[in-house]
Structure 1
Amino acid sequence: MVMQRITFERPTDHYDERLYSIDEKICALLKERKELSNGNPGFPHDDAIYNWAKQYGLYPDYINSLFSSMMDEEEFKPRVEPTKFLKHIPVFKTYEHKDIMYTITFIRQYSNASVVYLYSDWDSTNEVFNEDKPHNFFQLSINDTYDCWSEGGGGTDGHMSHHFVVSPALPDNLSGISLRFKDRSMPFMKDQAVLEFEIRLD
C-alpha cells in the first residue's frame, strides 16, 4: 500500500503583515541559493553556524534546523498517488553485494505511475552478520523523465522490502530502462561508504 503524505496545516491563523516584504526576500534568496549551488548546497561549517547565531541573536540549533530543511527540498515536491491498477510486469532481476541478494521480481503498473519493489534477502541464521548489518534506506533514480520517491517498506529476519513510486508510469516495454539504487541509510554523514548499484531491465 502506498502511503499518503499528510496535508500541511497552518500552525496559526496569525500573520504580521509587516513581515511580508522580508519573507518575500527570504524566498528570493532561497531561489538564488539553489541556483548558485546547482541544487547541491552542502551544509555550513559549525564555526559559521556559531558565528551567525552570535551575530544575529539566534540559537545555533535553530539555524541548524533551517539549513537541514533546505537540504530536504525534494521531499516536499508534489507527489502522485498511483490510481487505477493495470497489471504486473515481470522483471526477475538480481544484484548481490556482501552476501545480500537484492531482487526485483515485478513492477506494478497504474494508469498514472509505477510502483517498484526492491527485495533484499540474507542468511538470518548468521548472528554475527545480522548484528553488523546496517539498516538500509534506498533512494531510486532513473533519468530526468521520471520522479522517484521511497514509500518505505518493512521486513522480517533475513528479508526486507523497499517500495518506490515512479511518475509518470514506466512503459510496458522496459527495454533500455535502468534502475539506480543508492543507500541513504545515513544521510549527510561524512566519509561514509555508500552502496550504489544499477539493475537494467532490458
Structure 2
Amino acid sequence: MGWAEFGRVKNEYNETFKAIDEKLLELIQERKAKTKGKRFFPPMELMEEWAKKYDMDVPEIGWFFNSLDDRSYPFIPDEPGEIRNVLPIMRKSTVDDFDYMLTHAMQHDHCSVVTLEISYKNQDENIGHLIPRLMLAVDGPVDYHVKRHGSRGGGGNTQMSFLVSPALPDHLDQINFALFPYFMPMENPPKEVVLDKEVFFPKG
C-alpha cells in the first residue's frame, strides 16, 4: 500500500493564519536572539496580569515561556539508568494552606529523580483531588534540565517526581529549587478506566 492511497487531512489553513504564524515565528526568533542562551522568565505578578488580560490560565502561560528556554540541554533518557544512591533534600515551603516538601532525589546513572510531596494542612477536611500544575526549577553552577516524571495521590495529598539532568551533586549548598505554574495545553489527559463489575473470589 503506497502513501498516495491515503487522502489528505482536512486543513482549513488560510492567509489570515499564515500572517499570524509568521509573526509568531519572527517574534520567537527575535526573543531567542536576545536571550543569548540565558533564561528569561516573567514574574508571577506579570503572568497573573496577562492571564486576566488574555483569558488564559497562569500554568498555560508558564508552559509557553518555559518552552521558549533556548539553553542547550543535555539529553534526558526516558530511563534514568541504574540507581547509585539516595540523596536527602528535605526542603519545605508553605503557600496558602498547602505544604510543599522536596524529600529526596534518587541518584541514577543518567540523572536524578526528585520527589515532591504536597499535602493539605487541614487533614480533617475533605478538599477533593489535588491537580498539581507545577514544574520544578533547579538553579546551580550548571544548567539543569527538568521534566515531569509522573504524579500520584489522592485526597489532600499528592506526590510528583521530576527528572533532573545532569544529576544533582552530593552536596546541595549551591543548589536552589523552586516551583512555577506549568500546564501543557496539548497534553493528553490521563486515560480513565472505570471498574464497575461484580467480582466473586473463589474459595480457597
- The corresponding residue for 1:139 is 135
Amino acid at match of 2:76: R
C-alpha deviation, 1:126, in angstroms: 1.5
CA separation of 1:154 and 1:124: change in aligned 2, threshold 3 A: same
- The corresponding residue for 1:178 is 176
C-alpha deviation, 1:158, in angstroms: 2.0
Q: Percent identity?
A: 22
- Aligned with 2:28 (options 10, 34, 41): 34
* 1:93-108 equivalent positions in 2, closer than 5 A: 93-108=91-106
Indicate whether 1:79 and 2:60 are aligned. Answer: no
Q: How many residues align?
A: 138
* 1:1-202 equivalent positions in 2, closer than 5 A: 13=3, 32-38=26-32, 71=64, 74=67, 79-81=76-78, 82-122=80-120, 123-127=122-126, 130=127, 135-143=131-139, 145-184=143-182
Contact 1:138 1:162 in 2 (8 A): no
TM-score normalised by length of structure 1:
0.54
Partner SS state of residue 169, structure 2? coil
Contact 1:95 1:103 in 2 (8 A): yes
Contact 1:92 1:105 in 2 (8 A): yes
CA separation of 1:147 and 1:126: change in aligned 2, threshold 3 A: same
C-alpha deviation, 1:72, in angstroms: 8.6
Q: Which deviates the most, 147-156 or 178-187?
A: 178-187
- The corresponding residue for 1:8 is none
Larger RCO of the pair (alpha carbons < 8 Å, separation 6+): 2
Amino acid at match of 1:174: L
Q: Distance in 1 between matches of 2:23 and 2:65?
A: 17
Q: Distance in 2 between matches of 1:125 and 1:166?
A: 34
CA separation of 1:116 and 1:100: change in aligned 2, threshold 3 A: same
Q: Distance in 1 between matches of 2:180 and 2:66?
A: 18
- Post-superposition CA distance 1:139-194 (Å, at most 9, x none): 1112361100112201021210011000111111212101111122586xxxxxxx
Contact 1:80 1:167 in 2 (8 A): no
Contact 1:135 1:185 in 2 (8 A): no
Partner SS state of residue 29, structure 2? helix
CA separation of 1:165 and 1:186: change in aligned 2, threshold 3 A: closer
C-alpha deviation, 1:125, in angstroms: 2.5
